[in-house]
């Protein structure tokens, strides 16, 4: 994979192709797409008496950037976890590139080309940026997590993995940080590392869980550029996000979940005026998606929390 520049301003060919694919689609939940990379049927996940996910049918168009939105507790993260093998669905089936994926463990899902990002946990924060990238590559091999850190075990693959990691770190402007602890990165740099780490498996479908959470507004454009780049390189992107400015800015299509189910789909420009979507947000006793000032306040809070966490770590 080579370092490439951000998608140029205006509409790229890939963006135009994605928009053309959605042009005449109905706004109905589960509407068939012209060329779906992911097709989901009847996925149910219950926690005790609570049905967290109950998705009848949904398709994700290949080569598009699709947003998955919905009020808090709608089941978005649980649904991501089912699809990527990190949690087991009670029932249902789904195919990725036509291959049945239900019951497939996470590392095999990643190896087959479908990968989700993870927020940096405390444990990962104590590893260097480069070590995090190596762990990302190990998902592909399906090997024991910490084998990646034992030089004699990874030496054989070292050249290839290191080269790919360095390429990605350069592209994400993290190359100067390669030997720093991941915990010392800023909120925005952490998000870049999460994305770079997922790309170590050279996926076809990248699933991003709240790529903008905790990111300083100054870094927003750069992050958006990187997400658009994924599509420019031919990948499909499915992302969960609360920030509606981001959803409007980068998505080609929006899927809305509420109370575990897909309740509406549509283009980003008009989806928030859909009656079903308004009802879902109001019904969840939630304000409509965050306004810019609320978002800024939330971001400041998140940055402060991250700084406090880093300080706590460095004082240990």
- What is the binding site for ligand ATP (CB under 6 A)? 47, 50, 52, 70, 72-78
Terminal CA-CA length for the chain: 38
State which residue, 72 or 88, has the beta carbon closest to ligand ATP.
Answer: 72
* Minimum gap (Å) between residue 299 Cβ and ligand ATP: 16
* Minimum gap (Å) between residue 119 Cβ and ligand ATP: 11
* Minimum gap (Å) between residue 122 Cβ and ligand ATP: 19
Q: Which residues contact 291 (CB under 8 A, 6 or more apart)?
A: none
What is the Cα–Cα distance from 102 to 108, expressed in whole angstroms? 11
What is the Cα–Cα distance from 220 to 211, expressed in whole angstroms? 10
Which conformational region is residue 52 in: left (phi greater than 0), alpha (psi within -120 to 50 degrees), or beta? alpha
* Minimum gap (Å) between residue 85 Cβ and ligand ATP: 16
Angle between helices 129-141 and 187-199 (to 10 degrees): 30
State which residue, 149 or 213, has the beta carbon closest to ligand ATP.
Answer: 213
* Minimum gap (Å) between residue 144 Cβ and ligand ATP: 25
State which residue, 74 or 130, has the beta carbon closest to ligand ATP.
Answer: 74
Transcribe 165-194 into DSSP letters.
HHHHHHHTT-GGGTTSBGGGS-HHHHHHHH
State which residue, 22 or 94, has the beta carbon closest to ligand ATP.
Answer: 94
State which residue, 75 or 85, has the beta carbon closest to ligand ATP.
Answer: 75
State which residue, 21 or 244, has the beta carbon closest to ligand ATP.
Answer: 244
* Minimum gap (Å) between residue 70 Cβ and ligand ATP: 5
State which residue, 36 or 289, has the beta carbon closest to ligand ATP.
Answer: 289
State which residue, 63 or 70, has the beta carbon closest to ligand ATP.
Answer: 70
CB 201 within 8 A of CB 111: yes
Element (H, E) at 67: strand 65-69
CB 215 within 8 A of CB 306: no
Q: Which residues contact 150 (CB under 8 A, 6 or more apart)?
A: none
* Minimum gap (Å) between residue 76 Cβ and ligand ATP: 3
Handedness of CA 43, 280, 247, 253 (dihedral sign): positive
What is the Cα–Cα distance from 69 to 47, expressed in whole angstroms? 21
* Minimum gap (Å) between residue 58 Cβ and ligand ATP: 15
């Amino acid at each position: 994979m080579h370092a490439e520049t951000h998608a140029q301003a205006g509409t790229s060919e890939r963006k135009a192709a994605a928009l053309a694919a959605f042009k005449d689609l109905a706004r109905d939940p589960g509407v068939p797409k012209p060329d779906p990379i992911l097709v989901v049927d009847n996925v149910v996940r219950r926690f005790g008496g609570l049905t967290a996910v109950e998705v009848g049918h949904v398709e994700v168009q290949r080569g598009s950037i699709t947003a998955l939105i919905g009020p808090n507790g709608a089941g978005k993260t649980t649904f991501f976890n089912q699809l990527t093998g990190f949690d087991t669905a009670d029932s249902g089936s789904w195919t990725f590139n036509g291959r049945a994926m239900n019951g497939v463990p996470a590392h095999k899902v990643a190896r087959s080309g479908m990968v989700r990002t993870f927020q940096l946990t405390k444990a990962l924060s104590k590893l260097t940026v480069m070590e995090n990238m190596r762990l990302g590559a190990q998902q592909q091999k399906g090997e024991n997590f910490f084998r990646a850190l034992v030089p004699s075990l990874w030496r054989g693959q070292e050249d290839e993995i290191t080269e790919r990691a360095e390429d990605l770190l350069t592209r994400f402007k993290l190359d100067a940080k390669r030997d720093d602890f991941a915990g010392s990165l800023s909120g925005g740099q952490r998000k870049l590392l999460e994305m770079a780490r997922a790309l170590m498996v050279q996926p076809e479908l990248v699933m991003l869980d709240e790529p903008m959470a905790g990111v300083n507004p100054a870094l927003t454009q750069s992050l958006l550029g990187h997400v658009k780049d994924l599509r420019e390189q031919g990948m499909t992107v499915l992302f969960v996000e609360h920030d509606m400015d981001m959803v409007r800015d980068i998505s080609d299509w929006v899927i809305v979940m509420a109370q575990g189910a897909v309740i509406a789909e549509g283009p980003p420009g008009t989806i928030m005026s859909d009656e079903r979507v308004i009802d879902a947000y109001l019904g969840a006793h939630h304000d409509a998606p965050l306004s810019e000032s609320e978002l800024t306040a939330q971001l400041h809070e998140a940055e402060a929390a991250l700084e406090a966490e880093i300080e706590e770590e460095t004082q240990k």
